[in-house]
Amino acid sequence: MDRRAATSRAVLRRRSVGVVTALTTPGRVPSWWLPVLIAAAGLLVAGGAASAWATCPCAKLPPDGEAARLVTGLSFVGVGLIAMKQRRRRRVGLLMAAVGLTWFVYDLGWVYEPLTYTIGTVGAGLYQPILAHLTVVFPSGRTTSRVDRTVVAGAYALYAIASLGTQTLWDPRDTGCPCPANLLLLHHDSRLYAIADATSSVLLIVVTAAVLGVLVWHWRRSGLPGRRALTPVLASSLPIAALVVATTIVGENFLPPLAALALTALPLGFLAGLVRLQLERAALGSLVMELEGDAPIGRIRDALARTLHDRTLEVAYWMPSEQGYIDAEGRPFPLPAAQPHRSVTLLNHLGQPVAALIHDAAVYDNPDLVDAAAAAARLAIDNERLQAEIRAQLEQVRRSRARIVATADAERRRIERDLHDGAQQRLVTLSLLLGLARDQAASTPHGTLVHALDEAADELRSALAELRELARGIHPAVLSEAGLKPAIEALAERLPVAVVVSSPGTRFDAAVEAAAYFVAAEALTNAVKHAQASMVRVTVTHSAGCLTVEVVDDGAGGADPSLGSGLVGLADRVGALAGRLEMVSERGHGTHLTATIPCPPSLSPTARRVGGVSAEGATGP
Amino acid sequence: MRLRVVLADDSLLFREGLARLLMESGVEVLAQTGNPGQLLSAVRTHEPDMAVVDIRMPPTHTTEGLDAAAEIKRVQPGIGVLVLSQYLETYAAIRVLTSGPGGLGYLLKERVSDLRQFAQAVHRVAAGELVLDQLVVERMVARRRADEPLAALTSREREVLSLMAEGRSNRAICDQLWLGAKTVETHVRSIFSKLELASTADDHRRVLAVLHYLRS
């Protein structure tokens, strides 16, 4: 068992989801001489077989039968050579060539010398266990389970036992054949031979069935790419296996010519499987093309999902600063926990994590393709990873801005409440006590004292009024108590210009309400102070997940956003919520300020205690 | 018979002062409470003529007084409710005055410093009238509007309009402005026709119609 599969398995068992592969696997240059040698051997053996058949004085196959045999053997050699052109198909290619070359051992029997005849008869079925081996390990060339290995080992062992067992008991001259002697004949007993022959036939059927069983099992277990390779093999081997079993049961020594020709379908089935895999890999070429240039977010995921035939595929990117994975948008993406049908392929480059593919476990039946796809997409993945990292960092900055604004808002609310419950409350109580004192003084003949207390009460009233306005400026309680609409209307009431307010009476997230309110407040203040507007329109709308505040005045225009720190502060506040602030202010055409703030759907009336709903009802006709 | 009142304010000092003030002006204070729950049970137990309620009370210290007013009106519509607040907000004024039938009022808390006026407001609410702080009305009347419909009113008519919005009856307006009953009626009719409001004999509906007009 090869070490890579061993590592994969170990990792799979440990994390039960993890398969570690490197993006860059070191290449091995395929030797050029081996295919040449195989090709030469194939031609030589086929030529030899043909001439042996032609010169044999025996009762032999008809010409078309022998021709079919030659075609079948050479096809296996040829398909093997084709397969070997790819480094990763070298093992199956060698197995195919071995099937083709051993196929011709049978033809040694045409050479009527005891040695060649004996080798020809005992080795006639040598190709069978090799074919079984090939079928089990196709297309990767490697056994992937204990069942695989058992079936392959069993095929070789049974072949050895069955062929040697029968050969030692078989005397070809029994049938009156003028054949050369069987050099392996130990004991001549035609009854014992018949039993051994029947036993070996049964074993052959059992092995054939086992191999087919493994093939079907592999097919069922495979993802789409694996099935694309296995389907033609399955399609061509099923009828041929049936034929083999049938002729074995009937006891024919030779396959009928047509059946022999049908055997050539088998190498063609393997060839078709390889070609279809090749087409998969060709899709990788287009994957690379597809990933060139600027990629919109998520394009790599889509392209890989297409190439690997896995719609559920997800791509996570490694973020070194967080020591964790993020998605293409930059959001944290914890790798999934162990699941039987999900695999995680970690992609590394130069020993550093780059990304992780989370995919259907079936995709890993074709690890070549995953490797190749990951390698093909490496640059694009690295690029998208960097972009995702920047997005994640931006998101962190935005969140921290939002936190700063929220903290400041909370602090202002706290100060307002402290004022209300502290200084304001005490002064109100003081005014009450002053009133009581004044009344007592009025019932006595202290005219000047009453006057003095009246003056004190007036002063206190002014102080309270100033304190009210101060508290209101720090945080308008009406905003958190009743929402945006009553708060903006309260603003409008206090201004010396006509303000038309239009706003939904529903509640929104507190941070969104605060940002919208301060946008309206600042714009209204500017309209009055700097633009000398006579009319301002404030329109709040909520649609498509955004709250939009528009403030339009008919003032002087020509406002420069860089001049006032108020606008910059507002832009920061709106930006902290991932919103936008835009201002159009042409001289002589008024000012048009628009803030667009992402905002989840309105909170239900019960979510916030106090709604603008009943106030809304009061204004209805 | 003496007016029977319950008080609700979570500031003990203010509550005590308020109770003293009311008692001195001949009002019987049946109970003093610090939160809406106690207020509602005191109202149920004593069945007072009216309740004086602070708008901010536990648990959230926001608008518990508004909810309590509505709840009292729901359970016992005959009991007047006067809501006091350190801030005056138009939306809250509308909510108080529309929370039920009978006497309702919304005043700035510091109005308690003028004993006579405050006692008068308490009695008006107990008598079933609507009482609105003049600061709210001033703000509503002073508010600039695109078509300035109030410009058509004479200054005397504007005074009458403000007093109507504060919840005063024709008789009270007569007393306040030193005018004859006929004159006030003429002003009222003129205001309603200039503002294209449907006139009504019902005082409550007249206040709400005027407020609705001023607010729109």
**Quick one: tokens of B130?**
């609507």
Checking A101-106 for CB contacts under 8 A at 24+ apart, the result is A101/A38, A101/A41, A101/A42, A101/A45, A101/A73, A101/A77, A102/A126, A102/A127, A102/A130, A103/A69, A103/A72, A103/A73, A103/A76, A103/A127, A104/A45, A104/A46, A104/A48, A104/A49, A104/A73, A106/A69
The residue of chain B with its CA nearest to that of A492 is B143
- How far is the alpha carbon of B196 from chain A, nearest alpha carbon, in Å? 14
> Is residue B133 pLDDT above 90, yes or no?
yes
**Alpha carbon of residue A527 to chain centroid:** 53
Which residues of chain B are within 8 Å of residue A433 when distances are taken between CB atoms?
Answer: 17
A-B contacts at Cβ under 8 angstroms: 117
Mean pLDDT for the stretch of residues A171-182: 74
Which residues of chain A are within 8 Å of residue B140 when distances are taken between CB atoms?
Answer: 493
Split at pLDDT 50, 70, 90, the class of B213 is: confident
Q: What is the pLDDT of residues B46-80, one digit of tens each?
A: 999 999 999 999 999 999 999 999 999 999 999 99
pLDDT value for A10 = 31
8 Å CB contact between A277 and A228: yes
Which residues of chain B are within 8 Å of residue A417 when distances are taken between CB atoms?
Answer: 61
pLDDT value for A259 = 63
Q: What is the mean pLDDT of chain B?
A: 91
pLDDT value for A287 = 66
A423 touches chain B (CB under 8 A): no
pLDDT value for A9 = 33
8 Å CB contact between A276 and A253: no
Judged by CB atoms closer than 8 Å, whether chains meet at A421 and B212 is answered as no
Q: What is the pLDDT of residues B194-210, one digit of tens each?
A: 888 887 777 788 888 88
pLDDT value for B123 = 95
Which residues of chain A are within 8 Å of residue B113 when distances are taken between CB atoms?
Answer: 431-432, 434-435, 457, 460-461
> Is residue A460 pLDDT above 60, yes or no?
yes
Split at pLDDT 50, 70, 90, the class of A150 is: very high
Candidate from A436, A477, A493 with C-beta closest to B139? A493
- For an interface test with A, which of B16, B67, B107, B110 has the most A Cβ atoms less than 10 Å from its Cβ? B110
> Is residue A11 pLDDT above 70, yes or no?
no
- How far is the alpha carbon of A464 from chain B, nearest alpha carbon, in Å? 8
End-to-end CA distance of chain B: 42
Judged by CB atoms closer than 8 Å, whether chains meet at A499 and B144 is answered as yes
Split at pLDDT 50, 70, 90, the class of A295 is: low
**Percent helix, strand and coil across chain B, each rounded to 5?**
55, 15, 30
Judged by CB atoms closer than 8 Å, whether chains meet at A439 and B60 is answered as no
**Quick one: tokens of A89?**
């198909």
pLDDT value for B75 = 93
Split at pLDDT 50, 70, 90, the class of B117 is: very high
